[in-house]
Structures are given as C-alpha cells and as structure tokens.
Chains A and B, each alone.
Chain A
Amino acid sequence: MKVLMKGNEALGEAAIRAGCVHFFGYPITPQTEVPEYLVKRLPEVGGAFVQAESEIAAIHMVFGAAGVGIKAMTSSSSPGISLMAEGLSYIAACELPCVIINIMRAGPGLGGILPSQSDYLQATKGHGHGDYQLIVLAPSTVQEAVDLMILAFELAEKYRNPVMVCADGMIGQMMEPVEFPGEGRGDPLNDNEWALTGCEGRPRRIVNSLYLTPEVLQEHNIKLKKKYDLVAQKEKRWEVYGGVGNFDLLLVAFGTMARICKSAVDQLKQEGIRVGLFRPITLNPFPIEACRGAMDGIVPDGPVLTVEMSMGQLVQDVKLAAEGSRSVQLHGTAGGIVPSPDQVAERVRELLGKAEEKRPAEVLPVNPGWLPVCEQAQADGVPCSEVGRDCEICERAYH
C-alpha cells in the first residue's frame, strides 16, 4: 500500500527495512527529519540512535559500528559531509560497509539551506584524501530514494565500501506516495569474515589503514582499484527518457533536476521539439558509455545541455563522455534556486534557435476532468463531482 511520506522520513524507514540498526548523526537542515524519524523508529527494532557531538564524531562512530559488522549509517547536509571527509577516507581504506546520506544544500561555506546539487564533485571525486571512491546513488523521486537506500546497504555489504545516497533539499522535504518492498527487515549484521567480533577460537582480525611499507600499501591500493573497476563494470545505473533517439537535443541531469527536465521534455514534445533526457542514477561510477550512447541518438550537430543546480560540475563528466563529439552546454543555477520546467524549455529553444516559434502558453483547465461526468452534465459542459450519484451535483454550475 502506498503511503504519503516526506523524503527524509522515507529514507529513514528504508534504512530500517534494509536492516540498519545503528544511526549516528548531528542535526543540520535540510536533512534533520532523517534522524528525527530514526530516533523514534530505531528503538522499536532494537537498534540504537546516537546524536554525536559533531559530524566528525558521528562518522567515526559509524566507523566503529561498521568495524564490528553492524549495519550502520549517518546522514547530513553539505557542510556536515565536509566534516566527515576524514572518516570516509578511513572507512573506505579499511573496506568497511556503511551508508551516508547527503541531502545537499547550497554552498560554499555555510551557504544556505535550500536545495542544491553543488556537492556533485565532492561526492564523486572529492571528500577525503587518498585513492578511494564511494559508490554514489542519486534518487529523483521519494520512491526512488527508498529503493536506492535499500540498494545502498546491499552494495555496501557486497563491495565492503561506503555508499552515499546523494539527494537534495527538495527530495528531502517533499512528500510523495511511497511503497516499501516486502514486510520483513534485512539482517542487521553484514555477512562477513572480517568483522571484529572477538577472536576466541579463531585467528585475530585487524581493521587498519596504516601501511608503512610502500610495496604493501601499493598492493592495498591495487586491490581497491580492482574493486572500483568491478563496481564500474557491474553497477552503473541510468535512465533515458523521451524516446530512443532522433533527438534534436539531449538534456543531462540527475536527481531533482532530472524530474524537472522530464516535464520540460514533455512540454517541448508538444511543440514538436524532440528532446531526450539522460539521467545518471549512479553518479559514481558515472555511466559514461550509456551517456555517450544517448548522445549518439542526437541528430548530427545537435547539442547536449547539462542542467544542474550548480555552477558546472556534472557537465565535466558529460564533456568526458562526449569526448569532443558534441557541443556540451551548461544551464546552471545556484544559491538554492530551483529552475522551473519553463526555464529549462526556454533555454532549449534558445539553443535550437527556436525561440521565435514559442507559442502562447496553453490555458489548462483547473479541473483536470478525471471525475466522472453524467450525461446531463456533459450536455451542459459541467463536470459532476461524485461517483454513482444522481444529477443533484450537476445542478451546480461549474466554470
């Protein structure tokens, strides 16, 4: 059954369903409903919630819980994720599974609290030091946030790697209907032969990231690289919207921006402008081949337009995918400004030199017309509001 839930709360419930039993975090807008939800919910499933003294402490508590094999997570928003960078590097180095939510807000610095996608580079290429990577998943609806949250715990366990669910303030704050898969909960312990569970009767295990012998450290780096290559080979996810090809122009966007672009694609279709949308779901590994494949569906010399709530981050990966074969343009907003479908459509028309052909906006009925209409009402052009009733309703004039 579908229930109406806020994105942040749905993420919390999805974590519970995935088997998460430990949460460590620190409040920050616009993600605070995640811990607010879990502080009530975790004790009900025998779990534990700790509000740490800082984000730095929170991520290191996750480090500890992950080290003993427990499914653990934290969540934060942009400035808080910056503070967690050091811990992320250590957790990845020690190959421990855990999940991090980033509900992105506008930066840099303290910035603002409104939605943004300006942590793209941080999530996919940045945060802590050293040769490590996170798997980064970007939901575009509240339902997808749920699905990807559950996937995040699975991938973390499978690859022994931190996984980040990267959404923004809009997904976190909005309510949409969601359905949770199944009734049961996942195992609260990660399947493992590496966790520190007490070594009585077996050889001891060590969770460590310090390798002072260069050859040994390089060996470790090569092992990690092989893992990231395997993830890149197996786990890329994406969506193409708007048809299979013959596009006048291809939009590339993720998360919130992608769903706004979908509305722009639909709008432009009515004007006879064929626009496709490529939406990476895994931001890391970036589905570069599929992105290039979608570009091959554009008419010759047709451009690519990357739409993002940042000053140009995703566009860097899109340019890599294009390898100079296409003109790749950026439509970027910042500061917490969320572009509307109209603004995206206008930019597309501009790029295609079709600004002149813009038709006046269609006047759409306030009443969407999905309520049944009785015969008399239909004759009068008046919708009836009630199902299976006599014509008493239709006596009301409707404009």
Chain B
Amino acid sequence: MATTEVVMAGFGGQGMLLVGKVLAEASLQFGKEVSWLPSYGPEMRGGTANVIVRISTEPIGSPVVENPRGLMVMNLPSLEKFAPRVQSGGVIIVNSSLIDRDAEREDCIVLRVPARELAREAGSDRAANFVMLGAYIGATEVVPAEAIEEAITREFTGDKKKFVPVNTQAFRNGLEQARKAVEGSPS
C-alpha cells in the first residue's frame, strides 16, 4: 500500500483549505483514494486553519495522522505547531514571505518559498496559496503537475473563471522554484 499525506496550515483566509481541495481533486482524477479533513474549530478569518490531505492506492483508513510526511505552512504559529511533527525525511514548505524563522528540522527537506513575491509575479498576492501548492508538487511530484492545473480549471468556474490564469501561473512559479531548489541541492 502506497500512501502519503500533507498538512496545509495557515491563517484562515490564506486559502490552505482551497489548495487542499484542489490537491484532493487532482489526486482523485489521477485515480487515487483521497481524504480531505479540515480543522473546523471556531475558525474565522485571521485565526488558524489547517487541512490534512491523504492520498493512497488503497481505501484510506484513518484520515488523521500524527506524523505527516508533508507540510505546507503559511504562518509562524503553523510552523511552530506542525514542523516538529513531520516524519523524518519529510518535506516542509515554508512561506518565507511571512516566516523568517528556521524550521529547525535538519532531518527533513525544507524549502523556503517567497510565496507572496512569486504570487505577485503571477499577478496577485492572493495567489500565494497556489505558489505553495506548486512548491509542494515540485518537491514531491506526488501527482503530475498537469493534474493540478486541470483541477484548478475545474475549481474556478462561472464568475470565478477569471481566477484560473493567475492561480495557474502562481502554481507554476512555485513548481519551478521547488524543482530548481531540489535539483540544486545535494541528494
């Protein structure tokens, strides 16, 4: 049984639940079993919000995992909460636009991604969440990048269709950044 999972965490409104859904949709279309479990405490814009997405070749037992293999963090409280829990050898994507602290995980692959700047290059600061998703895919290649781009197209329809290009570009910026970083670092 092949399984992986990623915790995506940030402030409410930063769009971690949304990119989690896009990853889940892409994985489903890619023929995998998937679960998407959000935190649903008394959350609000500005509070913390997180989601754990599990992807597997088999039906998923527990949707909760104490020690995930992947982590994407948008803000410092999320880094402090989740980074110590990532499995050794896991991947941690850190939003360096907002977090200047180190992940302090020598045993993990840590990528610092200037999500806001890369999103701005794509056309909107608000697409920082898709930069992060791109970086995660670039670092792990868990599902093909094309599957994510298709899922972005399916996610934004009707009035929201206009957000497809900027989010796709943001995703690609993150993807490129991570692929370059992974290529450049020693194995």
Given A177-B28, A177-B34, A340-B65, do A397 and B3 touch, yes or no (CB 8 Å)? Answer: no
Query: How many whole Å from B63's CB to the nearest CB in chain A?
Result: 6
Task: Tell yes or no: B64 within 8 A of A by CB.
Answer: yes
Task: Tell yes or no: A175 within 8 A of B by CB.
Answer: yes
Task: Tell yes or no: B44 within 8 A of A by CB.
Answer: no
The answer to whether B37 and A399 touch across the interface, beta carbons within 8 angstroms, is no
Query: How many whole Å from B95's CB to the nearest CB in chain A?
Result: 19
The answer to whether B140 and A366 touch across the interface, beta carbons within 8 angstroms, is yes
The answer to whether B142 and A367 touch across the interface, beta carbons within 8 angstroms, is yes
**Chain A neighbourhood of B63, CB < 8 A:** 170, 174, 259
In the bound assembly, the distance between CA atoms of A190 and B138 in angstroms comes to: 54
The answer to whether A367 and B183 touch across the interface, beta carbons within 8 angstroms, is no
In the bound assembly, the distance between CA atoms of A365 and B109 in angstroms comes to: 12
Say whether chain B's binding surface is mostly helix, strand, loop, or mixed: loop
In the bound assembly, the distance between CA atoms of A120 and B113 in angstroms comes to: 47
Contact with A along B31-67 (1 / 0, CB 8 A): 0111111101110000000000001110111111111
Which 5 pairs across A and B sit closest by C-beta, in order of nearness? A263-B61, A368-B2, A385-B141, A175-B36, A263-B62
Task: Tell yes or no: B164 within 8 A of A by CB.
Answer: no
Which of chain A's residues 215-264 have a Cβ closer than 8 Å to chain B?
259-260, 262-264
Given A170-B37, A396-B179, do A368 and B61 touch, yes or no (CB 8 Å)? Answer: no
In the bound assembly, the distance between CA atoms of A29 and B40 in angstroms comes to: 9
Contact with B along A358-387 (1 / 0, CB 8 A): 000101111111110000000000010111
Task: Tell yes or no: B19 within 8 A of A by CB.
Answer: no
Task: Tell yes or no: B128 within 8 A of A by CB.
Answer: no
**Chain B neighbourhood of A395, CB < 8 A:** 183
**Chain B neighbourhood of A114, CB < 8 A:** 40-41
Size category of the binding interface on chain A: 35 or more
Task: Tell yes or no: A350 within 8 A of B by CB.
Answer: no
**Chain B neighbourhood of A176, CB < 8 A:** 34-36, 60
**Chain A neighbourhood of B36, CB < 8 A:** 4, 174-176
A-B contact pairs, 21 of them (CB 8 A): A2-B28, A4-B28, A113-B41, A114-B40, A170-B63, A170-B64, A174-B37, A177-B28, A262-B61, A340-B62, A341-B64, A342-B66, A365-B4, A366-B91, A367-B4, A368-B57, A395-B183, A396-B183, A397-B183, A397-B187, A399-B109
Which of chain B's residues 12-41 have a Cβ closer than 8 Å to chain A?
21, 24-25, 28, 32-38, 40-41
The answer to whether A341 and B187 touch across the interface, beta carbons within 8 angstroms, is no
Given A341-B61, A366-B4, A368-B2, do A175 and B40 touch, yes or no (CB 8 Å)? Answer: no
Given A113-B40, A177-B28, A385-B145, do A368 and B4 touch, yes or no (CB 8 Å)? Answer: yes
**Chain B neighbourhood of A364, CB < 8 A:** 3-4, 69, 87, 89
**Chain A neighbourhood of B88, CB < 8 A:** 363
Q: Give B contacts to A, CB under 8 Å.
A: 1-4, 21, 24-25, 28, 32-38, 40-42, 55-57, 59-67, 69-70, 87-91, 109, 140-146, 179, 182-183, 185, 187
In the bound assembly, the distance between CA atoms of A114 and B42 in angstroms comes to: 10
The answer to whether B32 and A174 touch across the interface, beta carbons within 8 angstroms, is no
**Chain B neighbourhood of A2, CB < 8 A:** 28
The answer to whether A341 and B62 touch across the interface, beta carbons within 8 angstroms, is yes
In the bound assembly, the distance between CA atoms of A370 and B53 in angstroms comes to: 17
- Name the one of B2, B24, B66 contacting A369, with C-beta atoms under 8 angstroms: B2
Task: Tell yes or no: A79 within 8 A of B by CB.
Answer: no
In the bound assembly, the distance between CA atoms of A370 and B87 in angstroms comes to: 20
B151, closest chain A residue (CB): A4
The answer to whether A370 and B57 touch across the interface, beta carbons within 8 angstroms, is yes
In the bound assembly, the distance between CA atoms of A367 and B136 in angstroms comes to: 11
Task: Tell yes or no: A398 within 8 A of B by CB.
Answer: yes
The answer to whether A260 and B62 touch across the interface, beta carbons within 8 angstroms, is yes
In the bound assembly, the distance between CA atoms of A227 and B142 in angstroms comes to: 53
Query: How many whole Å from A389's CB to the nearest CB in chain B?
Result: 10
In the bound assembly, the distance between CA atoms of A174 and B62 in angstroms comes to: 12
